[in-house]
Structure 1
């Protein structure tokens, strides 16, 4: 069906072309006056000229008069032709016409009886446009036009006559924003036209395809690895940019855009940008071209050894944070890592965001440089003096300091000193005498306390403090206060299977071993004693280094028995038989043996 329709349209166009050619032939066959013709010949020629004018014919006339509504034109007829004055008004409404101007007009109405001729300048112009379109179509030429508006399926184009530009023929690629083309002037090909139906179909894509093919041939003949070429950004993806080199597309991968960090190519490019690129590789069979932009400048790592020697201070911008550190850009393409361990001398940094933020400019010291691996290790704590280097001078061992408790753990107290240095009071250094299960039993966070500097380990960055050391150790004088053999009294604080613990004073305890409780064999002391009960015992031995005091209840009982025997012997009469003496001697011997 389409082929039949196209055939009919072509037949109609051919008929129109034949009519136009006949008109041109008839005009060309008009007689040429020599000035020697007779009156009869002139009248014949004059009458003959009227017969050849037909409605729809385009002729040239001379403007002979202009009034408010019409323009009179002499076209060689006995009566002048009329043209409406509005055909001579411009866009601003001004009349643009002068007497004796030559103007091409089309005969709209030709009435010999009424001797009336109605002409049209605009329709004559349209006829000429149609003639031009015919010629352009036949000669495979081009025509300029302005896209005036969007219509269903494409655009309306003004080429002197309204024409239709299908959306698929507007460009090589689908157009994202069709409104951008409205009002623009372009060059078009005439795909087809139908004068009777006033139908003209245009194409811009045909022209662009031809231009692209020509450019493609030129590009393919000149392309080679290492060559620098200019291209136009055609498309942008997350992995790179497609560049039109002139009919040939190449891929500029994101890794070849810059020596520095590129999150997305759209940060640097827009579709339509003109850029210079270097040909990295070209596959002739697959017609694949790999492009590079960073290769247009030297690799900055080649000069890193000279620019960033170990120990030098550098300035850079934080470009990325990870759990283990911060990446700092020293220049485009050169980044260094500040590990969290190199951010503070004293603080334990769990995440680099506690110290720096993306976009911040920081000063750092180059700790290590490996250009071959493209790695630079940086540190920011090295930009200031290490407080651990001077802390021992400021607080020598034995110094009493005052600080606030910053944290409490199972094993001790952390005391804030200065420069973010915390000192640790171990739970064993809180009291000389008290048995402390948890430091929170004695202190709370925020308490201000005094402590003595016990030790400073710079290598391990440890600052040891002691609270109990602010007071004398009571065990140093316990031997003077509790001499061996002294009878003492105390309160039972704990009962175990191996003995009874007795508190002699706050924090000073002695142990009555189960063997020192009684001469009789005792299975468990809890059968005889209770916690909180007061008892009396004798000091048997003292070990200040091990903080132990041995007590005995049994010794007191032995001594009591001996005193009874002695008192009994003193009260005996002289006439007493020798049995008493024997008894006394035996008891004394038994006592001596037991002591051994």
Structure 2
């Protein structure tokens, strides 16, 4: 009960001891000395009505502070009061000061209206706020969901995800800090607000990023941090803006995966290759900061040179060989072997093999070097005309059957064709009617074309060789010319 004199005579009466008759008798005694005219006036006056504004607030003037209570004149016949603790320590109540208060009902003990300055200020602060406003708040605590804050008379909550741009594990260091934040939600009924610091940080970051973008230019060298790796490259943060460093631009040599060159968090120096402002893309290069190995290729590799390298890839059309870092050459499938029919490069090589090859051609503008493995071995077709004279009879193994005849291997790397019309005196529909793969047959050399690498053979003439001018069969060639040659192993380019 507020300090001051207690009014009325009921102070010595115990309400629990009164019944209706006792109350009536006590009332009669109390008003016995009051005239009828005064009673009528008192009834006509009724309870005092205090004017309030649209928010339900009432204006009042501070009278004085008595003990722990501050008394206020609100325009009625009686005083109103509120606890002195609702005033800020640095701004105590001053007699004659007019303020807005919220009425909280009559105090039962004193009969005076109880007021609240804190509630009025809280409502005023809430009314003045709207989502998007920026306020400053002090962190007062941490709970499982985020930070608890106070901004003036307002309580606020900041979810964990809205504190920083990056994930935060420990929020304890934030207690006591004053943070600038943006109002996200307002709960006027619960008198609480939800705020976000992340939104302000994002806007500041975006502004810095836009400013940085305007300062970027192609050809600049910037320092950055590797943010993340993908199969096709690495994303590099160059001061708030991310650019893409593709695998092909990481090194002059072949890179299997970005993780072979970079790791997340690593600082690197990169060159800006291209800026696409419409698509908001930046292409970066790492190898462009190193000398281009192709600048010295022409002086290091000349046609006819024998060089060593390592097989890096096998394709249907040939094998790629790394001659030095960033310099690769191609061995076409036709240049893998003189003697072996190669269906795929893996029939001869495997990735990682060390090889010795001959340089066939160098095209620096197109970054191409043609290589040959078989060029380091002896070409069996080089002297084939000397070994296989026309009308000589030899033996060979059938290697392939086609619609138009059969191919016969005379020696390793040298094949001839028996046309279907030269297989038998009889008419046949298919070469398979006469021979099968693996059969050893006698054939007559009809013609030899070393340039086209073609030898025409005949099985039927081998059985009935042409007559000489004296009417006798043509002599067979010397044994040295007709015997099957022993297969030779590939010597040239494979390292032991």
Shift of 1:232: 2.2
Instruction: Determine the structure 2 residue equivalent to 1:381.
Output: 287
Shift of 1:433: 2.9
Larger helix percent:
1
Larger radius of gyration: 1
Shift of 1:507: 0.9
Q: Is the 8 A contact 1:277 1:296 kept in 2?
A: no
2:427 matched to 1:521?
Answer: yes
Shift of 1:379: 1.9
Instruction: Determine the structure 1 residue equivalent to 2:309.
Output: 403
Instruction: Determine the structure 2 residue equivalent to 1:231.
Output: 137
Instruction: Determine the structure 1 residue equivalent to 2:453.
Output: 547
Q: Is the 8 A contact 1:495 1:526 kept in 2?
A: no
- CA deviation profile, 1:74-97 (whole Å, cap 9, x unmatched): xxxxxxxxxxxxxxxxxxxxxxxx
2:243 matched to 1:339?
Answer: no
Distance 1:474 1:523, change over 3 A: same
Distance in 1 separating the partners of 2:426 and 2:279: 83
In the alignment, structure 2 segments of 5+ residues that lack a partner are: 1-9, 15-66, 71-80, 86-106, 108-114, 474-496
2:273 matched to 1:367?
Answer: yes
Shift of 1:321: 3.2
2:374 matched to 1:471?
Answer: no
In the alignment, structure 1 segments of 5+ residues that lack a partner are: 1-10, 16-134, 144-190, 192-206, 568-596
Shift of 1:417: 2.0
Shift of 1:478: 3.1
Instruction: Determine the structure 2 residue equivalent to 1:153.
Output: none
Distance 1:502 1:276, change over 3 A: closer
TM-score normalised by L of structure 1: 0.50
Distance 1:318 1:250, change over 3 A: farther
Q: Is the 8 A contact 2:181 2:196 kept in 1?
A: no
Instruction: Determine the structure 1 residue equivalent to 2:354.
Output: 448
CA RMSD in angstroms, aligned pairs only? 5.1
- CA deviation profile, 1:142-193 (whole Å, cap 9, x unmatched): 79xxxxxxxxxxxxxxxxxxxxxxxxxxxxxxxxxxxxxxxxxxxxxxx9xx
Q: Is the 8 A contact 2:147 2:158 kept in 1?
A: yes
Aligned positions of 1:565-580 closer than 5 A: 565=471
Instruction: Determine the structure 1 residue equivalent to 2:209.
Output: 301
Shift of 1:548: 1.4
TM-score normalised by L of structure 2: 0.58
- Alignment match of 1:245 (pick from 139, 151, 161): 151
Q: Is the 8 A contact 1:232 1:272 kept in 2?
A: yes
Distance 1:453 1:230, change over 3 A: same
SS at match of 1:293: helix
SS at match of 2:209: helix
Q: Which has the higher contact order (CA 8 A, sep 6+)?
A: 2
- Alignment match of 1:263 (pick from 166, 181, 192): 166
Distance in 2 separating the partners of 1:396 and 1:525: 47
SS at match of 1:475: coil
2:394 matched to 1:489?
Answer: yes
Distance 1:403 1:290, change over 3 A: closer
Instruction: Determine the structure 2 residue equivalent to 1:214.
Output: 121
Equivalent pairs, count: 372
2:182 matched to 1:275?
Answer: no
Distance in 1 separating the partners of 2:123 and 2:279: 41
Instruction: Determine the structure 1 residue equivalent to 2:238.
Output: 330
